Amino acid sequence: MVEPLWKMFVKQFAGLMHMVIGLAALLSMSTQNWSDVTILMVLLFTSVTSGFLAEKNAQASMQALNAGLEKKWFVKRNGQDCYVSQ
């Protein structure tokens, strides 16, 4: 099953590094240091987007590899050895 893209993107925010950057941005907002907030938010979204694209490409590669695999099973039918494919 393929995960929806929006869910894959949102999951990128769950990492510890992204939470720390988000917390730093919130602290900078509380001190009204807007230049730091801007830099931290750009850093956060760049990192999340980069991780999202990497995961999306990895998922596409896995789907291509799985599509190219021939599924065969070795079975015994009526006392004879044979291969069954899907």
- Residue 17 has a CB neighbour count (10 Å cut-off) of 11
Start-end of H helices in the chain: 5-11, 16-30, 34-68
pLDDT of 16-27, one tens digit each? 999 999 999 999
- Residue 44 has a CB neighbour count (10 Å cut-off) of 20
Cβ neighbourhood burial of 67 (10 Å; 0-12, 13-18, 19+) = exposed
pLDDT of 29-68, one tens digit each? 999 999 999 999 999 999 999 999 999 999 888 888 888 7
What is the C-alpha to C-alpha distance for residues 5 and 11, in angstroms, rounded to an integer?
10
- Residue 12 has a CB neighbour count (10 Å cut-off) of 19
